[in-house]
Structure 1
């Protein structure tokens, strides 16, 4: 399996994503610059966190018009696995690959902390190694992580089981509607989330609960190719 980690001016979690793939599942992984015009060699695309283009205009707005995003749209249509983390989630909403928007945290403060999440949908390519309803410890680091959508979109997310993660209990750190921490598209091959699983791959970092996101992706790919993951 081959992964692409996109790099925009201002990305700062690209190395974390690269190392998570390399150290957790040992698959091929490349950094791919925002000017790239061909992603056909890749099975999964990671859109990392950071401050693409300095968060000018809106978080993720300028990055959504980068040449590589045309290829991300094509990859999504082809059913390839796409994961947007933090600023990557913002980019995917700006590119209309995911519904809704990310706005300023309530309280207007940047929040950087360990955060408990509930796995709401373990049937995606990104969550198949978790248990339904499982509580996992994944750090957050964002100032614009408040997920917002209108009532009709929220009803559609619920009806299609597109809510993948929620902030657990009453611990919502940013004011997101219905405690939403991560969502998918209708097909389930595109997921965006504000918390950082790539920063939770070893206990020395405070949690290793993020490892199973990467083993889930590999498992889903192997199942597609007739060879389920062992161990």
Structure 2
């Protein structure tokens, strides 16, 4: 069973949901604290949604300098799978583990809705349970979820197959090229603005379409 750490920052509010998703997906969820420097032997890490450090300065800008992120950045550089969801995606961009940035929604309003996505890349550790091109519905909730990058970076992401997911049924926040998630060059680090951890049970969400992000990693064999 893979051990998947979920980091709690001051202001995290989806960390408990992420740990539950890990367990339902078949993994062993390990709680990690932002102020520690011990990954506790985990095989992978999830950075959950919320408002880390109150979203002061830019979203994720302070979290990037936490002791835990220092060791995560090093581990990610050695191939450890890392998934950043919503605020976690913002932290990954601030940490330069992913290119681009997340800025204020183009309509200047917070959006909360069920959102359709298309899985563009199922070759990452976090998306291998999906068929390429699979259309899923998960929860979206953000005020600063518009993904932006310069044209050269966007072209490189497209050309290298690093767009992991794309919005369907209308762009909810102004993200360039309808991008909902991207990966790093190696594919082990993935940032996703929507919340798959809120779509893992029929009782509490739009369905179970988000579960694949967690079963993909739980089924992975680590040396």
Matches within 5 A, 1:117-132: 117-132=117-132
Per the normalisation by structure 2, the TM-score is: 0.96
For residues 48-93 of structure 1, give each alpha carbon's deviation from its aligned partner in whole angstroms, at most 9, with x where no partner exists.
0000011000111111111111111111012111000000000000
Question: Does the alignment pair 1:13 with 2:14?
Answer: yes
Partners of 2:30 and 2:42 within 8 A in 1: no
Figure out how many residues of one structure are paired with residues of the other and give that number: 221
Per the normalisation by structure 1, the TM-score is: 0.93
Greater relative contact order, per chain length (Cα 8 Å cut-off, separation 6+):
2
Partners of 1:39 and 1:75 within 8 A in 2: no
The alpha carbon displacement at 1:40 in A equals 5.6
Matching residue of 1:3? 4
Matching residue of 1:228? none
Match of 1:20, SS state, is: helix
Question: Which stretches in structure 1 are left out of the alignment for 5+ residues?
Answer: 226-231
Matching residue of 2:196? 197
Match of 1:178, SS state, is: helix
Residues of 1 paired with 2:157 and 2:25: CA distance? 30
Partners of 2:126 and 2:217 within 8 A in 1: yes
Question: Which stretches in structure 2 are left out of the alignment for 5+ residues?
Answer: none
Matching residue of 2:184? 185
Q: Which moved more, 1:194-203 or 1:124-133?
A: 124-133
Match of 1:202, SS state, is: coil
Residues of 2 paired with 1:213 and 1:91: CA distance? 19
Matching residue of 2:99? 99
